[in-house]
Amino acid sequence: MVPIPEKNQTNGLVPEKDSALFENNLTGLTDDEPVTASTQPAAPVAASTQPAKPTAASTKQTSPQHRTGDLANKQIIFDSNEDRFSVAEQAMSDPEVLGMLIDNLAGGERRLRQFSAGAVAVVSEKQPELLAPYIRQIADALHRPEAQTRYESLEALARIVAFDPESADDAIVGAEASLYDEENGPARLGAVRFLSAYGALDAKRSQKVWPYIDEAIQCYHGDPEFQDMLIAVIGFASGRPAKQVREALAARMRFDAENAKGPLQRRAIQIIELCKV
């Protein structure tokens, strides 16, 4: 099995701390027995009862409410966290397998949820349009207790939010909870990435998420994930934030632009320059 290399959206900058930081925080992944996905779809969650609006990129995909085929003849087995790459390849070529992964996000087994979320995150890197009909189900996964499921789901949502921003509204509450997760830096990073991608879409959404982004800049300034958070904020500033948001963001970054050194100073200056546009 040849691993699929993971991508990091850097907006032209190479972060010193990669989001692989999360791999150092994984817990409970040393069990010897493989995890086998249920071949029956999980009961639908409340957030998924209404289908997402189809987009040009998603109209050809099988909707979550209308999957067909004999799922009893399909199985997904995770022997290790690395299997998410091969399972993601299956899901990208088989809508029923992709549907099973989405159903697993609401399942009762923790390890199966987090492995499935990892595969979904890989799909979001390679073919994000395939996940457009499932934004609400992925947003619901932000309410799972384990950090990995939430982190991987936030990463996926950050990549697919533009396909259906209205459905992505459902993810704000879950993202806020992860943003204030005191025990898991990668979950906080995933929240900043999603909120930044969401807020970059238009002025109204930028105003909605700016208080969260502003607080993250202040609270997590010294965290190992902070450099990657700033890369997400660069993406936020590169989008279409409201004028007052741009002004507030520039003011927030001015201290680092004038007093910091190295990458932190360069990124602060870049954010200020983007806010002038």
**Is it the case that residue 143 has pLDDT exceeding 50?**
yes
Rounded mean pLDDT, 94-121: 95
**Is it the case that residue 207 has pLDDT exceeding 80?**
yes
pLDDT of residue 58: 32
Buried b / exposed e across 158-173, counting CB within 10 Å, b at 16+? Answer: bbbbbbbeebbbbbbe
Amino acid letter, 43? A
Q: Which residue has the higher pLDDT, 17 or 107?
A: 107
Rounded-to-integer distance, Cα 183 and Cα 106, Å: 23
Rounded mean pLDDT, 18-26: 40
Confidence of residue 61 (pLDDT cuts 50, 70, 90): very low
| Residues listed for the chain | 277
Those residues whose C-beta lies under 8 Å from the C-beta of residue 258, and which sit 6 or more positions away, are none
pLDDT of residue 73: 58
Our CA dihedral for 244, 247, 252, 258, rounded to 10 degrees, sits at: 180
pLDDT of residue 79: 76
Rounded mean pLDDT, 78-89: 86
Confidence of residue 76 (pLDDT cuts 50, 70, 90): confident
Confidence of residue 82 (pLDDT cuts 50, 70, 90): confident
pLDDT in tens, 149-194: 999 999 999 999 999 999 999 999 999 999 999 999 999 999 999 9
Q: Where are the beta strands (DSSP E) in 23-178?
A: 35-36, 77-78
State percent of the chain over pLDDT 90. 69
pLDDT in tens, 218-266: 999 989 999 999 999 999 999 999 999 999 999 999 999 999 999 999 9
Rounded-to-integer distance, Cα 236 and Cα 163, Å: 17
- CA 118 vs. chain centroid, Å, equals 10
pLDDT of residue 110: 94
**What's the half-sphere exposure (Cβ side, CA atoms, 13 Å) at 193?**
27
Domain boundaries along the sequence of the chain: 19-275
**Averaged pLDDT score across all residues of the chain:** 81
**What's the half-sphere exposure (Cβ side, CA atoms, 13 Å) at 11?**
20
What's the CATH superfamily of 19-275? Answer: Leucine-rich Repeat Variant (1.25.10.10)
pLDDT of residue 81: 74
pLDDT in tens, 24-43: 344 333 344 444 444 444 44
